[in-house]
Amino acid sequence: MKIEKACSNCGVPFWVARTNVWRDNGTIYSRMLPQHRMVFMESDNLDGLFSNLEIIVDRPIKDLIIEAKSKATREYLRPLLRRRRGRLVQLIGYRRMARYVASMAALMGYGQIELLDFSPKFGRADRMTIRVRNIYSLLMFCGDIKGAAEAAGRPNSLRQASVDYLIEKANQYQVTVFVSGKAVQEPEEREPLTYVNKPGDFQLERCPQCGTPTEVANYRWDLALGTINDPRTGRRMAIFGPATIDRTFEELEKQLGIELDDVIVEAQRRYIHTALTEEESRLDKESIRLQLAVRGLGNLTEMEPGEKGSINLRIENPCLAPILIGLMLGGYEIATHRRARAFWKIEEDGDLRLTIEPQEN
């Protein structure tokens, strides 16, 4: 079966339905890597968040984000590639492998990816040039390709890579990654990030043919452009793993030398004010619960009014917590037309406890 084939009932590509499972507990997990959590989110959110972070910390951070993402990607890929490194490429060839990866990228909403040139001479000055169109996040992609190039090195011989990009025209870039002969120290391996995975009882309505939530069928896949769009809002979506985003924030925190959780919350709050409408921001528990579950951000189990217009929420199985908190905070402000503040903590059982209250004038 071609991976581009779509479900005849709901229109969601079968590859997406068969490689990802939307569980009844507010999470999405990969079927290929059952411990690997996924999210289905607005891709513009990433670059909007990064732009606001740069403004708040008052220094250029684009290169830092690429470097942080490359380390996160390398850490994720390195153990996977140690035993299988190069075997598939040797069997089917670089260009055929690149076409397959490009097809998967389009299905995930990452944009169009085209291999232009490469020099696969491991241990020398390797080079690969890729053309990307409609890319979901240029900074994330540059970090991914740099980290992947470094992860592909021989065991105990990590090679330093660099990445550069050239703007060809609107929404189109040439990205070139260089792998030098210079060895760098192999980082100490950390345990993979895992997320709380409590059972849930949120029964999503599903397509009877492919099992994907019917809400997901409202989105439109354009495989020629490599995009997933929400026709109701015009926003782009993408499917990606939250672990590498969380690791990116950890690395960025080290490079900047500051704690970032509250900064990310504020950056996300500002982005939400540019992205959501008042209609989308209604403080309706079931609507919010559905939207969080479809995105794989967690299971909203409690949402109760508090004193002076505040609300108290409990979210099981949360991920990307600062982004999630900024989303809820910004949405509350849009709905109430009042500036607010958030108080939150992660409980011992992994639940996110969140209180949002209006600020005094």
Q: What is the 3-state secondary structure (H, E, C) of the chain?
A: CCCCCECCCCCCEHHHHHHEEECCCCCEEECCCCCCEEEEEECHHHHHHHHHHHHHHCCCCHHHHHHHHHHHHHHHHHHHHHHHCCHHHHHHCHHHHHHHHHHHHHHCCCCEEEEEEEECCCCCCEEEEEEEECCCCHHHHHHHHHHHHHHCCCCCCCEEEEEEEEEEECCEEEEEEEEEEEECCCCCCCCCCCCCCCCCCCCCCECCCCCCECCHHHCEEECCCCEEECCCCCCEEEEECHHHHHHHHHHHHHHHCCCCHHHHHHHHHHHHHHHCCCCCCCCCHHHHHHHHHHHCCCEEEEEEECHHHCEEEEEECCCCHHHHHHHHHHHHHHHHCCCEEEEEEECCCCCEEEEEEECCC
Q: Contact, 263 vs 321, CB < 8 A?
A: no
Distance between CA atoms of 43 and 323, rounded to whole angstroms? 13
Q: Is pLDDT above 80 for 3? A: no
What mean pLDDT is predicted for residues 246-263? 93
pLDDT, tens only, 47-94: 999 999 999 999 999 999 999 888 888 877 766 655 554 455 544 455
How large is the average pLDDT for residues 183-210?
A: 84
Query: Domains of the chain: which residue ranges?
Result: 259-358
Residues found in the chain:
361
pLDDT tens-digit series, residues 117-160: 877 654 445 888 999 999 999 999 999 888 888 877 665 567 78
pLDDT band of residue 351 (cuts 50, 70, 90) is: very high
Residue 44 · residue 275 · CB < 8 Å = yes
Q: Residue 51's pLDDT is what? A: 96
Strand-pair category, 311-316 with 299-305: antiparallel
Residues 6+ apart with CB under 8 A from 312: 302, 303, 304, 305, 306, 353, 354, 355
Q: Are 51 and 117 in contact (CB under 8 A)?
A: no
Segment 33-42, tens digit of pLDDT: 888 899 999 9
State residue 268's pLDDT score: 98
Query: How far, in Å, are 59, 73, 88, 230 from residue 130 at the CA level?
Result: 29, 18, 20, 27
Grade residue 303 by pLDDT with cuts at 50, 70 and 90. very high
- At 80 the pLDDT is 60
Q: What percent of the chain has pLDDT over 70?
A: 88
Who has greater pLDDT, 346 or 188? 346
Question: Can you give the pLDDT at residue 83?
Answer: 52
The answer to which of 95-104, 147-156, 207-216, 312-321 has the lowest mean pLDDT is 147-156
Strand partners, 112: 133
pLDDT at 325: 98
Taking residue 121's Cβ as centre, other Cβ atoms within 10 Å add up to 10
- 97 pLDDT above the threshold of 70: no
Report how far residue 301's alpha carbon sits from residue 26's, in angstroms, rounded to the nearest whole number. Answer: 10
The answer on pLDDT for 96 being more than 90 is no
CB 264 within 8 A of CB 147: no
Once rounded to an integer, what is the mean pLDDT over residues 88-111? Answer: 75
Q: Tell me the CATH number for domain 259-358.
A: 3.30.1380.20
Whether the per-residue pLDDT at 311 is higher than 80: the answer is yes
Mean pLDDT of the chain: 88
Identify the residue with better confidence: 95 or 16. Answer: 16
Strands 37-42 and 236-240: antiparallel
Sheet holding 340-346, edge to edge: 299-305, 311-316, 352-358, 340-346
| Lowest mean pLDDT segment, chosen from 111-115, 119-123, 160-164, 312-316 | 119-123
Whole-prediction pTM: 0.91
Task: Please state, in angstroms and as integers, the Cα–Cα distance from residue 272 to each residue in 16, 52, 216, 314, 354, following that order.
Answer: 27, 11, 21, 20, 17
Quick check: 140 and 173 in contact, CB under 8 A? no
Q: Where residue 273 falls among pLDDT bands split at 50, 70, 90?
A: very high
- Which has the closest alpha carbon to 319: 287, 301, 295? 295
pLDDT at 179: 85
* pLDDT, position 143: 92
